[in-house]
Amino acid sequence: MSDAPLVSAVVPTYRRPRLLERSLGSILRQTYRPLELIVVDDGSGDDTQDVLSAFADKAQAAGVDYRYFEKENGGPGPAKNFGMEQARGEYFAFLDDDDRWYPHKLENQLQMLALHPEAGVSFTRYVHEGKPDEPKPKPEQMRDGWVFETLCSGDTRAHLQTLVIRRAMFERCGGFSSHRNWEDTEYELRLSLETQFLAVREPLTVICTVESSVSREEGLEGDVERDRQKLSILDELVEKYGDHPRFKLESTKILRARVYDEHIKHLIWLGRVPEAREAWERAVSECGEQEMLLKLKRKLSRAKVAGWFGRKLKKP
């Protein structure tokens, strides 16, 4: 593989020193070489730096060029950007500190990318820890080509931890936003305006969600706030890229309706039915009468009746 391009694996980490062996170890076990590992400690302020220092011998024994850094806490997006700025590879791959890759992940993706130079992004299927026989997303959601519209509709699903991108995409699109929520989706949407995606239909990543994940902070109340942030981020995307030749406003209305769908459900499960009704009316005004919103109208009626009897609809 002496003529093979260098791949830089970029791993942001924050206060999870005990999980690093799992994620970083899965990178060292990759069958692909040459390989560079860049770890960015996002201001953990604990013993993360000691753990990273102790990992150097393992990386050397595995033939992986390994560097680790520490920066002031700024969230996952800026941490990944910092890693990409330090990276030397022709390709960048991303892994969170609580997830892991199967050994052939990078090798399989690089082989496919070599056959499809028109694609600047590759993504794969994945499994959740403990469910190896239940790969996601569904086969029909593994679409490639120009996927902006299908990313918005959910007909294409590309998990960030499965992505490999060409350096040229970073140079063209820049890095992740500084938002601490939904920065991965926003980045994929921007990438999809500039390049074709390449779907590798094998499950090659394991997602290992832990209790300290941002997506679990503060339960449903946290979900409600994150929903609002997503809508705000989508507003920014529409304003900035509305004139892009591949941008489709109607597609973003579908995505907005999908966000509203989750937001209204979160409010219903919290028992905040009047607020949910107001959000539904706002959603229809902004997105039109999308089918998912029309279905929610019936759920809102059931939630209102349940409220008369002092009950809340339960999250399924």
Instruction: Give the CATH number of the domain where residue 120 resides.
Output: 3.90.550.10
Q: Are residues 124 and 25 part of one domain?
A: yes
CA distance 175 to 190: 10
Q: What is the pLDDT of residues 176-224, one digit of tens each?
A: 999 999 999 999 999 999 999 999 999 999 999 775 555 555 789 999 9
Residue that finishes a domain, picked among 207, 232, 261: 207
Structure tokens at 244: 């892009």
Q: What is the pLDDT of residues 116-172, one digit of tens each?
A: 999 999 999 999 999 999 999 999 999 999 999 999 999 999 999 999 999 999 999
Q: Are residues 168 and 296 part of one domain?
A: no
The CA-atom distances, in angstroms, between 136 and each of 99, 146, 256 are 15, 21, 23
Domains: count for the chain = 2
CA distance 43 to 70: 6
Helix locations, the chain, DSSP H:
20-28, 48-54, 56-61, 76-86, 105-115, 148-153, 167-173, 183-194, 219-241, 249-269, 273-287, 291-308
Structure tokens at 76: 């996952």
Q: Are residues 297 and 189 part of one domain?
A: no
What pTM was computed for the model?
0.94
Residue 255 within a domain: yes
Range of the domain at 13: 7-207
Residue that finishes a domain, picked among 207, 239, 257: 207
